[in-house]
A = this chain, B = another copy of it.
Amino acid sequence: MFEGPLQDLIDEFSRLPGIGPKSAQRIAFYLLKADPEDIDRLCSALGAVRDGVSFCRICNNVSREEVCRVCADSGRDKTTICVVEDAKDIQVIERTGEYSGRYHVLGGALDPLANVGPKDLAISSLLQRIGGVLPDLDGEKAPEVAEVILATDPDTEGEATSSYLARLLKDFPELVVSRLASGMPLGGDLEFVDELTLSRALSGRLTL
């Protein structure tokens, strides 16, 4: 439609999730008139993320330090691990105020169609944590884990991932493995569930 660099920019923005050609065009024209410093800031933020965001050594959450704020918080219950697909799901669960344990970020869900298998997710580190192999803060021995809450998305991939993990975790007979209770609409995305529904789902979780 347009010529040269402007069209390139529209094309690039159109590739991002949730941005259609119309929005991409609007953003490109906005940037055309924007302060060059704003564009530089956006570019350097992109560069910083490309060069690597660091992850918590324990739970795989996005973190500036070696250990994320949740894992470093000594006031939290170290015996419970809530397993989520993405770091952004942590924020949603934190907002309910119903959970005071730690997390484990898988980095996605099993999805054979997209070639995402168990090896692409942070499953082995979860087993190491539960097995007490992974050292905790300041080189301390890993805390004993009493319960694992499977809080993957209530969609096909998330359900499959939870079933897979539940099967693996049968190897730890003492461990209580639970799944977020129903209350969440199936086929949805955990990130967009309202706090109240998520609170209900947390307090009514079912032992598998």
Contacts of A49 in B (CB 8 A): 5-6, 9, 28, 31-32, 39
Known contacts A17-B26, A17-B30: does B64 contact A3 (CB below 8 Å)? yes
A112 at the interface (CB under 8 A from B): no
Candidates B3, B15, B39; contact of A50 at CB < 8 Å: B39
Q: Are A46 and B43 in contact (CB under 8 A)?
A: yes
Chain B residues positioned under 8 Å from A29 (CB to CB): 86-88
Residues from chain B with a CB closer than 8 A to the CB of A54 are: 4
Check B27 against A16 for contact (C-beta < 8 Å).
Answer: yes
- A45 interface contact, C-beta 8 A: yes
Identical subunits present: 2
Asked if residues A8 and B91 are in contact (CB atoms below 8 Å), the reply is: no
Q: In the complex the two chains form, is B18's CB within 8 Å of A48's CB?
A: no
How close is A96's CB to chain B, nearest CB, in angstroms?
Answer: 15
Q: Mark A23-66, 1 if CB is under 8 A from B, else 0.
A: 10111111111001011111101111110011000000011110
Nearest B residue (CB) for A65: B3
**In the complex, which residue of chain B has the Cβ closest to the Cβ of A86?**
B29
Complex alpha-carbon distance, A155 and B43, angstroms: 34
- Ranked 7 nearest A-B pairs via Cβ: A5-B48, A4-B64, A3-B64, A39-B50, A9-B45, A8-B45, A12-B42
